[in-house]
Each structure stands twice: as structure tokens, then as C-alpha cells.
A and B are shown apart, each in its own frame.
Chain A
Amino acid sequence: MPDTAPKPALKQDQAELVVLALLRDEPKYGYAISREVQARSDGAFRLTPGALYPLLTRLEKQGFVLTQWEEVKAQGAEPDAGGRRRKWYRLSAKGTRRLDQRIEAHRTFTRLIDGFIEGPAPRGATA
């Protein structure tokens, strides 16, 4: 029986962390990022195009990623036939610093959560 349960969508800050981490090693284009998120989470995470591309646009505007266009031709296309355009993303120096901050914040958060799990139950309530 196929798995039809909805996959959890990444929250904004989590999605940013994931995308920046994926771009740390090598440049990638949008669909490749989307595919890799799914592949590396064994299909647990879903980063829809509606969330991914606006996020990439924002990261580009904030200077965290740099972009470059490439012309891609379909397999078997004529040599002089026009191809489609593909946008590649790579991490900037500013983006690398941003990624480090994100990782640190995530680890702090996880450590705090772990503290709750492992330690005594905290007092107080949220607003």
C-alpha cells in the first residue's frame, strides 16, 4: 500500500538552513535542491516549489547566494535549437557566515530541547 500520508513541510528557518547547507558543497539549481532535500531525508521532508523558489529569491536578494544562468538543451535536440534556461545557485561568503549562525542556533535549540527531554520538567507556561 503506497504511503499517502502528507510529508511535513519545512518551516521557514529550517528550510533556509537546509538549502544553505546543500549549497555549501557545490552549486545547485532549484530542481536539484528540491530533489536532494527529498532524497537525503528519505522522503521525510518536503520543500515544495512554492516554498523553495521564493526562498531562493530572498536569499539571493539578501546576498547569501550568488546566481548564474545556463542554457540547457533537451536530449536529442538539434544543435542549433534553443534550449531552456537554468539558474544555478552557489553560496556567497555572507551566506557561509549565515549558515554558520543558523547551525549554531539550531544546535542551541536542539540542546535546549534535549535538556527538556532528559532533565526535569521545566516550570512556567508559554503565552
Chain B
Amino acid sequence: MMKTRTRTPSVDPSARDPIGSWLDVFVGLLDLPREQKKTIRDELDDHLRSRVDDLLITGITESEATQRAVGELGETAELARSFRAAAQPHQTRRLIMTASLFTVIGAGIVLGTATLTGIQPAAQQSHPIAAAAHADAPLIAIRGETYAGLFQLMRAQSDRPVLVHWDRLEEIGVNPDTPIGLDVDPLPSYVVHRLLREVTENAAGEPLDVHVSDELIEVSTRSHFDKRTREMRSYDVRELVELRCGIGADALVGRGESSEWRGAAEGVYESIVMLAEPDLWAETGGDLARGQLIGATLMIDAPARIHERVEAALAVMREDADRTRRLARQQVEHGDIERHKRIKEARAELDELAARYAHLRARCDRMVFEHDGAPNVDIAQTLMAELTVLEVERDLAQRRVHRVSGLIVDLESELQKFSSQRAHTPATSGRGASAPAQADLTGNVYVRGDVARPGVYQLPGTGELDLARLISAVGGAPAGSSVKLERPGHLGFESLAGTLASDMPSFTVESGDLVTVTAPESPAASPNPDPLARRLESIDRLAESGRIDADRAATMRERARAQTERAGLPGKP
């Protein structure tokens, strides 16, 4: 049969350095790392120039000598293929290289893949179905056998025909009468196949492969099987990419387009290449396998044995991803327990502080009343001094109430947020579409700040709730308070309302809203330093609570002002 072959590129005699020009073309075909290309180029350069020197002695011209020397190299494509095959790392080195790369990928993958690749053939030894299939494998002993003898033995001990591609085997120097150079006691046939691979790879640089199916035992070179079994397969790597992006990360929005997503997907692809015979991929200078990422789908064009490794690598990576996800979930759950505990403690503290604040406030009011009825200036001044101390204590208590209530709201908000995320994160797979990360679908609103009862409130199941009713439901806010309403959106919390305005109450509260109320002159911000003003505030509160009537309140205000003037204390008229 005629074969169509590519001839060596002709040497250009008009070139200034025809050998250099030819070598430039040749190394361009090598598809090897630059350093290896340079080594090959230098060695061939020395060979060609030495050959030309020898040929010149015979009396031919330099141009003719160069043409002949280059022609002796043989077909360029074949030559390049030989150099590429020789430059590929030895199997053992590949395993070591792969093992060292595992440390980069992670401990889970280290353990998983070591099981898969520690001893070859990995799939045959670790796969339970394969192991069962080998349980009744015939035993074969080799004593001074030739290859033909071995294959005849295999045929005799098997109930299937044996097809030997001698034409392929001869390409790697294996002939029917070639001694195997292997003496072994009876061993299961799959072990003999493995030994054959190692022996031929050591001797010829390329392993002989034995493919066993139900119908046939077939023997040929690995490259022959690689060529025949090469096909395109697609792999879904979405969950691995999502894990790299971070569960619930904003990068999930617009997936496939963001650079973060793209980077994560390429990272996954890189890991697969490194775990599945890395030196055979186009990315590393090989020519047996290549891949292309399309969104979250990885298309790989490679021989079947590479696909097996890709599947094994993906299985290990997915297992590791599941483990990571489980660990993250456990940590969140542990965090929930801590948050619940802290909320409980904070609530107890809040109750205590609220009681103390109420007590101090009542004492202050009573003292104002006593001060108002003091029989003389000295007693009034003593009472005033005590009142000042009490009021400071009262203000501090109020400030702590605010702080603790804010803490409770924050903790409950965190709890709700993580609970919502878990509800929308699949237990073992991230393949489903994810809801906006911070959306609260539980029907809760959060109220904090200067209100009587800050906390998390459930929205009514049927009707709508506006802001005014909500404020009222949480015990009301001091007159003139500002109210800020923040609403979770795709881009985080969006502030929908600023300072409280007259139209604020028309706002409808929605699930997940965060309402912050700030009193106009919050004691938490700055306690009033003016004793007279504080007295007047206390009198106002007494009047508002109905404990004194309006006339009595007016009288008390007059007296307070008069006493302050007499005592020379600062105060506004």
C-alpha cells in the first residue's frame, strides 16, 4: 500500500546559513519546551555541519553537501515525532511529578489520588468491578519466551481470540522472535500485561499494550490504541468552579462571564491536566490531549485512557469538594450555636440593664420632685449634686441598653442570613441556580436603635405593614427621631430611606429590611451637661406621665430656674 508522506523541507541554498534556516523550521515542528528544543537544535547542528565537512572532502559543492546531509535525516515529521517521543518523561518520573503536584491541590486529593495512582494499573487495582473481573484471570508463567510464544500462551489459556498487531509492534522493535527478557512464575494475566508494558517501555521507549474485552484480546502499541480510542467528551465542572469561587459569592451572578469565574474554571482545568498524565496535553507541549472550557463545561479531546484518568481526577476532586462543603457547613452550624448562646446572654444583660435604667430614671424624677420641695438652698444643692451623679449613671445605663440591643439585632441578623444561605445551598452539589446571597425569605424585619424593644420581628402573614406601624409595634420612637431603612438587594444592602420625613410612614416594610431609629438628642450620643435643662426634662417627663398636673409642673419649672440663679449655677432662662 502506498503511503503519503511529508518530505523533509528542502534546504534553501541561497540562504546565508542554509543549515541554520532548516533547523529553525525543524525545531518549530517539535512542540517541546524551549530548553529541549535548543538542546536538539544544537546537537543536530553539530551533526549536520560535521557531515557536511566530511562530504566536502569527497569533492562535492557545499550546497550539494548540505542538501545531502539534511536529506539523510529522513522525513521531517517522522524525525520530529521520534524526538518528541524520546523527550517525554519516563512513566516513573511522571508519577513522581504528579505526586508532587498533589501537595498543591490539597490533602483530600493527596490521599484519594495516591490510592488511584500509587501502583499501576490504577483503575484495574482499585476498581471493585475490575477486581472482580480479574478474580478468575488465567495464570501465565514466562520462561525464556519470545513475544510470539507468549501470545500463543495467552491464546491457549484464554477462551477468546488474540489479535496481535505485529506491524505496529515492529515499529518499536518487537518481532515475533524477540526474547521478552522476563522470567516470572505463574502470575495473573493482568499482572503479566503490566510487566509487558514496563519491559517494552524500558526497552523500546514505548509500551506495548494489551486490551482485553469480552470478545477479544488485542495487542498493539500504546500509540496505536491512543489513536484509535481518541474521542471528544464533555465534563460538567460547575460545582468545582463554584466551590473555588466561594459558596454564595457574588461571582455566581453572571457566571461564565466574570473574570473570577473564568479564573476558577481555568484553575479546575489546570488541576485536571496535572492529575491526568500532564505531559501529554497540548498545554504542556504534548499532542495527545487537549481541552476547551465552554462556560462550566470542559470539552476534552483525548484517548480513552486519558479520559479514564480525567474521570478519576474529577471523582477525587468532587469528593474533596464535598468534604470541604461539609466542613464549612459544620463550622457555620457551630457558629450558630455560639450566636444563640451570645444572644441569650445579651438578652439577660439587656433585661438587667433595662430594669436598672428604669430604676435610675424613676429615682432621678423623684429627686427632682424632692429637690423642688427642699426646705433650703443647701439641701437643694446636695440633692442637685446627687441628681447629677444619678443622671450620669442613668445615661450610661441607657447607652448600654442601646449597645446590647444593637448586638442582639446584629447576631439575629447573622443567624437569619446564614440560615437563608444554607436553605439555598444544595447539600452536596452546587449545580442549581442560587438565590441572591443576602435575600431574607423568612419574613423578618430587623429593628434597632432608640426604640423601646429592638429586635427581629416577623411580618404579618396576610396584610402589609408600613413603617409607622412597625415603629409603633416596637414601642415607638422619641419625637423627631430619624429612621433609616435598608433593604437587601443583589448588590448588598440598599438604603431606601434617609432621615425620617413626613412621608416616611407610607413606606411598606419588606422581608429582610433593617430599620435603624436614632433619637434626635440621644443620650447615648451626648448627655445634656446643663443641670437646669436636665431638671426641666425630668419635670416634663413627670408631667407627661401624669404624676403632676400642668400647674404643678409650671410652678416646679419656675422654682428650678430661681434656685439655679440663686445658686449661681449655669442655666438658660
Contacts and interface: CB of A to CB of B under 8 A. Distances in A.
A103 to B, nearest CB: 13
B354 interface: no
Given A54-B82, A127-B164, A12 B43 contact: no
Contacts of B44: 49, 53
A67 to B, nearest CB: 10
Interface in A80-127: 84-87, 105, 108-109, 124-127
Contacts of B172: 12
Given A29-B46, A31-B46, A85-B42, A51 B82 contact: yes
B204 A13 contact: yes
B152 A127 contact: yes
B177 A126 contact: yes
Contacts of A13: 173, 178, 203-204
B550 to A, nearest CB: 105
A12 B204 CA distance: 6
A27 interface: no
B217 to A, nearest CB: 11
A84 B417 CA distance: 70
Contacts of B54: 35
Q: Secondary structure at chain A's binding surface: helix, strand, loop or mixed?
A: helix
Given A48-B73, A105-B181, A31 B51 contact: yes
Nearest to A85: B42
Contacts of A105: 179, 181
B148 A126 contact: yes
Contact of B43 (A14, A35, A87, A109): A87
B43 A30 contact: yes
A127 B40 contact: no
Nearest to A101: B181
Interface in B184-217: 202-205
A18 interface: no
B46 A72 contact: yes
A101 B75 CA distance: 33
A58 interface: yes
Given A49-B74, A51-B82, A126 B46 contact: no
A54 B205 contact: yes
Contacts, number: 98
Nearest to B78: A50
A11 interface: yes
Contacts of B51: 31
A31 B54 CA distance: 11
A13 B75 CA distance: 22
B176 A126 contact: yes
A127 B205 contact: no
A88 to B, nearest CB: 10
Given A62-B90, A126-B149, A31 B50 contact: yes
Nearest to A106: B179
B181 A48 contact: no
B530 interface: no
A57 B87 contact: yes
Contacts of A61: 86, 89-90
Q: Which of A12, A85, A87, A105 has the most chain B CB within a 10 Å cutoff?
A: A12
Nearest to B181: A105
Contacts of A49: 44, 47, 72-74, 79
B175 interface: yes
B45 interface: yes
A48 B47 CA distance: 11
A58 to B, nearest CB: 5
Contacts of B176: 126-127
Given A11-B175, A49-B74, A126-B177, A87 B46 contact: yes
A54 B152 contact: no
A126 B50 CA distance: 45
A104 B70 CA distance: 37
B457 interface: no
Contact of A84 (B45, B83, B90, B164): B45
A62 B82 contact: no
Interface string A28-46: 0111001100000000000
Given A48-B72, A49-B79, A12 B42 contact: no
Interface string B34-52: 0000011011111101110
Contacts of A74: 49
Interface string B155-174: 10000001010000000110
B151 interface: yes
Interface string B407-432: 00000000000000000000000000
B139 interface: no
A50 B51 CA distance: 15
Contacts of A66: none
A11 to B, nearest CB: 4
A34 B46 CA distance: 13
A126 B152 contact: yes
A127 B179 contact: no
Contacts of B149: 126-127
A108 B179 contact: yes
When A and B form their complex, which 10 residue pairs have the shortest distance between CB atoms, in order from nearest? A12-B173, A126-B148, A54-B86, A127-B151, A57-B86, A31-B50, A127-B152, A85-B42, A54-B82, A50-B79
28 contacts: A11-B175, A13-B203, A13-B204, A30-B43, A30-B46, A31-B46, A31-B47, A48-B73, A50-B73, A50-B74, A50-B79, A53-B47, A53-B83, A53-B86, A54-B86, A57-B87, A58-B86, A61-B86, A61-B90, A62-B202, A84-B45, A85-B42, A85-B43, A85-B46, A87-B46, A125-B152, A126-B176, A127-B162
Interface of B: 39-40, 42-47, 49-51, 54, 72-75, 78-79, 82-83, 85-87, 89-90, 146, 148-149, 151-152, 155, 162, 164, 172-173, 175-179, 181, 202-205
Given A31-B46, A126-B148, 17 more contacts: A13-B173, A16-B203, A49-B47, A49-B72, A49-B79, A50-B78, A51-B82, A54-B82, A61-B90, A69-B42, A84-B49, A85-B43, A85-B45, A87-B46, A105-B181, A126-B152, A127-B176
